[in-house]
Chain A
Amino acid sequence: MTDNLFQYLLRLGDDRLVLGHRLSEWCGHGPILEEDIALANIALDLIGQATLYLKLAGEIEGKGRSEDALAYFRDAIDYRNVQLVELPHGDYAVTMVRQFFFDVFSYHVLEQLQSSTHSEIAGIAAKGFKEVRYHVRHSSEWVVRMGDGTEESHRRAQKAVNDLWRFTGEMFQADDVDRAMLSEGIGADLDAIKPKWNEIVSDVLNRATLVIPNDPPAMTGGRRGRHTEYLGHMLSEMQIVARSHPGAAW
């Protein structure tokens, strides 16, 4: 039970930490000032949520690891995020399509977790749920704007959907950890979320004049520590200061 709960919290934390870091890479490079600021804000929300889940994970594990220890001193093989969030941020279409796919997923997960039997998870989720509501509004607006925009923006948005689609199935792959957490009333019901995710995503892509590719959403393994090569590169940058100067404070 404790190990399942620890694993479950790592998943919630790592998805948000890795995606938050990817968004933060846009800081100073956004296509327009307002979007630069928007992505920095959303990154801050996600990293903030991750901090809360990882802090709780460290307490549950009981080995004295803080949220910083979990973020900066674990290698890629010990990260439990889905592969979708670790892929490079690409162009703005990739960033926004990926964000939209994750936001719709996160919306439904956090909606359910608000009534988790674990009171701290429920409280953290209630705060995050208020935040994901404006995240998904922002990302869906951009998916429609780019998909149903110019020839060039449409081409890029469709390419982003094509390239990312095979990574979307992993979010809904329930394993023993998910089943144990669901049966305890702690975790979210991924089987119930999948059709809702499909419905919203199909509706928005349709309005964006974007087509869902035929490839099966086959890429998987992140929850067990099997990642794409991109995560290690990302972590090396994210972790270098903390690892070069352990215990440093500023």
Chain B
Amino acid sequence: MNGPIVDILREVKDPEIPMIDVVELGIVRDVSVDGDTVRVDITPTYSGCPAMQVIERDIVSVLRAKGYDNVQVNTIFSPAWTTDWLSEETRQKFRDYGIAPPTGASRAEGGIAELVSLRRARPTIECPFCRSANTVEKSEFGSTACKSIHFCNSCHQPFDHFKAF
């Protein structure tokens, strides 16, 4: 990937988790320059993530601001985005922001018979505020597609978890 352009793209944050930029989130998959055209390949997190359209617009506008007028943003689907790509440094940013970073298996494990068995493996999610493991899942679905809702029994704080996906 083209280093100077990647550095510019680090200015683009995910609007729903504004402490994380789109490069460290793994949305930017490739950057190439051909003549005066900059091509940026991005991959969606979830199929219906409404942040993707904003991110696409922001990528074009930060590059324009630096003098790159011809920007082509392509959406690619393979390999499918996964939270496994997040570094430890990025995970710490989630905690600092009050969101538990992805915990547990992101990969498809087991077939459909296991999914419908009601025996769901629930990983222990550590509270981002007090680091207690004494937490409980309140809902697998949260304020955005990428988050679930939990409660810490130790410090009595509700918190979001960025789901392993």
Contact = CB atoms under 8 A, between A and B. Distances in A.
Main secondary structure of the interface of B (DSSP, over half): loop
A45 B115 contact: no
Nearest to B82: A130
Given A136-B116, A137-B120, A126 B78 contact: yes
Q: Which of A49, A104, A133, A207 has the most CB of B within 10 A?
A: A133
B77 A120 contact: yes
Chain A interface size band reads 35 or more
A109 to B, nearest CB: 12
Interface stretch (A34-42, A65-73, A163-171, A221-229): A34-42
Given A37-B142, A133-B108, A203-B116, A123 B76 contact: yes
Nearest to B141: A38
B141 A46 contact: no
Interface string A219-249: 0000000000000000000000000000000
Interface string A47-74: 1110110000000000000000000000
A134 B47 CA distance: 14
A130 B49 CA distance: 14
Interface in B42-65: 44, 46-50
Contacts of B108: 129-130, 133
Interface of B: 44, 46-50, 76-78, 80-81, 108, 112-113, 115-116, 118, 120, 138-145, 149, 165
27 contacts: A34-B139, A37-B139, A37-B142, A37-B143, A38-B141, A41-B145, A44-B46, A44-B145, A45-B48, A45-B145, A48-B44, A48-B49, A104-B116, A107-B115, A123-B76, A123-B80, A126-B78, A127-B80, A129-B108, A133-B108, A134-B140, A136-B112, A137-B120, A141-B118, A196-B112, A200-B113, A200-B116
Interface of A: 34, 37-38, 41-42, 44-49, 51-52, 104, 107-108, 119-120, 122-124, 126-131, 133-134, 136-138, 140-141, 144, 196, 200, 203-204, 207
